[in-house]
Amino acid sequence: MIEFHQVFKRYEGGHEALKGVSFELPAGEMAFLTGHSGAGKSTLLKLIALMERPTRGQVILDGQNISKVKDRHIPYHRRKIGMIFQDHRLLFDRTVFDNVALPLIIAGVSDREIPKRVRAALDKVGLLSKEKQLPIQLSGGEQQRVGIARAVVNKPPLLLADEPTGNLDPELSADIMNLFAEFNQVGVSVLIASHDLALIARMRHPVITLKEGRTIRNELAEAAFDE
Amino acid sequence: MSKSNRQNTSYKISFLDRFKMAISLHKKNAANTLLDVLRHPTNSLLTILVLAIALALPTAFYVFSSNAKAISSNWSGGVQMALFLKENVSQEQRAEFIQELSFRPEFKEVVLIPKEQAIEDFKQQSGFGDALDYLDENPLPDSIILTPYENHSGAAMLEKLAQELEQNPVVDLAQLDMAWIQRYQAILEISQKVGTFVSILLAFGVLLIVGNTIRLAILNRRDEIQVIKLVGATDAFIRRPFLYTGFWYGLIAALLAALMVNIVLLLLQQPSSTLAELYNSGFSLMGLAPSQTLTLLAIGASLGLFGAWFSVSKHLKDIQPT
C-alpha cells in the first residue's frame, strides 16, 4: 500500500526532518509509527498525503509514485486517504452530520446517497444519535470519533492517523485504537503515528520507530523477514 | 491491492450522477451564498452600498450624456445656412442661382427672401418699425435660406459647403450659425471622454472592493478551507461559493444603482419638462431603457464575479493545510 524508498525531507531553513527513511506497508496491514516528538512522524504522514513533497527519494502509494502527482491532482489523491488528526480538524459551525458528509459532497455523491452513507459511518463510530449536534457539544473522544467517521465515510483504502489519542484518557484511547483495528479487519490499510508506547504494545501490530529522521526499528521488515 | 481490499475501494460514481451533483452543487452554492449575503445585512450592506454608488455614478452620467446628445441632435437637424447675395445681382442671375441650388442633392429646402420682404420682417420683429421708414433705401440684401438634409448637416460638411458657395460670384457672404452647436458638441465630447475615464476608474474600484471583501471572507474561513482541502476538495470546489458571493454583490449593487438612478430621474422629470416647455421644446427626459438596465445588471454582476475571481486565485493558493 505504502512504500518509502530512501526518503529525505529538508524543510526550508535547513531542518532535516527525514534522513533516508525506507519501509513498506503491505495492503490491508495496520502498523504504528512511533518515536519522540520531532522524530519525523508527522512529516512522514504529510508526505503520504502530499501536504509536503520529499526532497529526495520515492514515496509509492498503491503502486503509484506520488511525486508524479501534479498539484492540481492532489485533491483526488487525498480522496484515497482518510486522515485523522490529534486536533480533529472539524468544522465547528456545522453539525456532526454535515462534518461527516463533507468528503461525500466534495466527491460529488448524490443527495440521495449521502444520508445513508453518513449514518452508516456514524453508526460504526457509535455516534448515530448525535448527528444533529455541533462538535462543540461533544466530548474530546466523541469529537475524535466524528473525525474518524469523516475519514472513513468515503471508504478510502488507507487511513492515516496523527496522534489520534493524543488528548484522550487511556480508556478512550483504547476505544479509538480498537475502532481502527476494526476498520483494518475489513481490509483497510492503517498507519497510526503515536507515542503512546504502552497502548501500542497492547495492540500487537508492527511498529516502525523513528529517531531523528531515521528508521531505527522496522517490525514490518522483520515480520517479512521472519516469513 | 489484495482481494479483500476490493470491496473497500471508494464508491464508484457514474458520470450522470457526477453531472447531476455538479448542477445541484451550483444551485446550492448560489442559494447559500445569496442567503448568506441577505442574512448578514450588516456585513454586506455597507459594501453593497459602496458598490451601488460606484455603479450609479457612471450610469447617471451615461443617462445625462445621452439626454444631452439627444438635445443637440434635435438642434443640428435645424441648422440652416444663409446666403447673402451681392447688391448688383440681376433678377435673372438670382433665379438661375436658386435653380442651381435646388438641383443640388444637399438641400431639402431653398427659400428666397427678397430684400423687400427682409425689411418688412425686420420692421415687425425688431420693433424699430417707424425708425426704419426714415432710411432712404433698403440696406438689406437679398438672401437665400438653405436647409440641408440631415445626412448633410454635419458641421465639417456644412463648413465646406459654405466655403464653396461663397466662391460663387453672386454670393456676398455665406453664414452658418453653428459655432455654438460646435462648442456645445465639443464640450459634450470632452465630458464624455472624462466620463468614460471616470467610469473605467470606478469599474476598477468595484473590482477592488469586491476583491477585498472576498479576500477578507477567505481569510475568515482559512481554517475551514484547510480542512476541506485535506478531505480532497478541488480548488474549483472551494472557489465556487466565493465566486457566487462576488456575483451576488455585483448584481445586488447594480440593482440598487438602477434604483438610485431611476429615483434621481423621477425627481428631475418635472423640472426638466418645465425647462423644456420654457424653451418651446418637445424634449422629455429619457430614463434607463430596460435593455440598458439589463446591461447595467450584467456589468455589475460580471465586475463582482471578476473581482472575486482575482481575489480567489490570488489568495486561495496561499492557504495550504499544515
Complex confidence, ipTM: 0.89
Nearest residue, CB atoms, B7 vs list A107, A117, A187 = A187
Confidence of residue B280 (pLDDT cuts 50, 70, 90): low
- List the domain range (segments joined by +) for residue A126: 90-155
Phi, psi at residue B70, to the nearest 5°?
-60, -40
**B14: closest chain A residue by CA:** A109
- Strand pairing category for A30-34 and A189-193: parallel
Q: Which of A139, A155, A171 is the last residue of a domain?
A: A155
pLDDT at B263: 93
Phi, psi at residue A27, to the nearest 5°?
-60, 140
Same domain, yes or no: A164 and A151? no
Residues in chain B: 322
Nearest-Cα distance to chain B for A42, in Å, is 10
Helices B15-39, B41-77: inter-axial angle, 10-degree rounding: 90
Per the CB < 8 A criterion, the answer to whether A6 and A57 are in contact is: yes
- Answer yes or no: is pLDDT of B40 > 60: yes
B23 touches chain A (CB under 8 A): no
- The cell numbers describing B129, all together, are 418699425
Per-residue pLDDT of B146-176, as tens digits, reads 888 877 767 777 788 888 888 888 888 888 7
Same domain, yes or no: A72 and A164? yes
**In angstroms, what CA-CA distances link B203 with A30, A88, B28, B55, B249?**
58, 44, 29, 7, 14
Average pLDDT over residues A146-150: 95
Same domain, yes or no: A76 and A171? yes
d(CA A221, CA A211): 17
Same domain, yes or no: A15 and A50? yes
Inter-chain contact A51–B320, Cβ cutoff 8 Å?
Answer: yes
Per-residue pLDDT of B58-117, as tens digits, reads 999 999 888 888 777 666 556 778 889 888 888 888 888 888 888 888 888 888 888 888
Average pLDDT over residues A178-188: 93
Same domain, yes or no: A151 and A168? no
B169 touches chain A (CB under 8 A): no
d(CA B86, CA B90): 10
pLDDT at B7: 39
In a domain, A220, yes or no: yes
Average pLDDT over residues B255-271: 92
Same domain, yes or no: A141 and A196? no
Same domain, yes or no: A73 and A170? yes
- The cell numbers describing B89, all together, are 445681382
Contacts of residue B10 in chain A, CB cutoff 8 Å? 79-80, 107, 154-157
Same domain, yes or no: A98 and A210? no
Same domain, yes or no: A33 and A105? no
Is residue B176 within a helix (H) or strand (E), and if so which, with residue range?
strand B171-176
Neighbours of A190 (CB within 10 A): 23
Q: Which of A155, A173, A193 is the last residue of a domain?
A: A155
Q: Coil, strand or helix: which one is B136?
A: coil
B227 touches chain A (CB under 8 A): yes
In a domain, A117, yes or no: yes
Same domain, yes or no: A15 and A59? yes
Helices A96-107, A113-124: inter-axial angle, 10-degree rounding: 130
Quote the mean pLDDT of chain B: 84
For the ranges A77-91, A182-196, B152-166, B202-216, the lowest mean pLDDT is seen at: B152-166
Inter-chain contact B5–A157, Cβ cutoff 8 Å?
Answer: yes
d(CA B122, CA B136): 16
Residue A214: CATH number of its domain: 3.40.50.300
Per the CB < 8 A criterion, the answer to whether A104 and A122 are in contact is: no
Longest dimension (CA), chain A: 50
* Alpha helices (runs of H) in A68-213, residue ranges in sequence order: 74-78, 96-107, 113-124, 140-152, 170-185, 197-203
Q: Which of A136, A155, A174 is the last residue of a domain?
A: A155
Contacts of residue B317 in chain A, CB cutoff 8 Å? none
pLDDT at B8: 39
Number of domains in chain A: 2
Same domain, yes or no: A70 and A164? yes
- The cell numbers describing B94, all together, are 438670382
Chain A residues within 8 angstroms (CB to CB) of chain B: 1, 27-28, 49, 51, 62, 72, 75-80, 83, 89-91, 102-103, 105-111, 113, 117, 150, 154-157, 186-189
Inter-chain contact B231–A111, Cβ cutoff 8 Å?
Answer: no
Q: Coil, strand or helix: which one is B178?
A: coil
Which among A181, A178, A160 has a CA at the least distance from the CA of A89? Answer: A160
Contacts of B239 (CB under 8 A, 6+ apart): B312, B313, B316
Inter-chain contact B231–A157, Cβ cutoff 8 Å?
Answer: no
Is residue A225 within a helix (H) or strand (E), and if so which, with residue range?
helix A219-226
Same domain, yes or no: A64 and A25? yes
Contacts of A192 (CB under 8 A, 6+ apart): A30, A31, A32, A33, A160, A161, A164, A177, A180
pLDDT at B9: 42
Which among A39, A72, A66 has a CA at the least distance from the CA of A50? Answer: A66
Per the CB < 8 A criterion, the answer to whether A1 and A175 are in contact is: no
In a domain, A75, yes or no: yes
d(CA B60, CA B69): 14
Q: Where are the beta strands (DSSP E) in chain A?
A: 2-10, 16-25, 30-34, 56-61, 64-65, 81-85, 158-162, 189-193, 207-211, 214-218
d(CA B201, CA B14): 48
Contacts of B207 (CB under 8 A, 6+ apart): B303, B306, B307, B310
Inter-chain contact B17–A78, Cβ cutoff 8 Å?
Answer: no
Burial class (CB in 10 A: 0-12, 13-18, 19+), B274: exposed
Is residue B71 within a helix (H) or strand (E), and if so which, with residue range?
helix B41-77
Inter-chain contact A28–B13, Cβ cutoff 8 Å?
Answer: no
B230 touches chain A (CB under 8 A): yes
Contacts of residue B14 in chain A, CB cutoff 8 Å? none
Nearest-Cα distance to chain A for B15, in Å, is 10
**A183: closest chain B residue by CA:** B8
B222 touches chain A (CB under 8 A): no
Interior/surface letters B107-127, b for 16+ CB within 10 angstroms, e for the rest:
beebebbbbeebbbebeeeee
Residues in chain A: 227
In a domain, A172, yes or no: yes
Confidence of residue B2 (pLDDT cuts 50, 70, 90): very low
Burial class (CB in 10 A: 0-12, 13-18, 19+), B102: exposed
Is residue B309 within a helix (H) or strand (E), and if so which, with residue range?
helix B290-315
In a domain, A85, yes or no: no
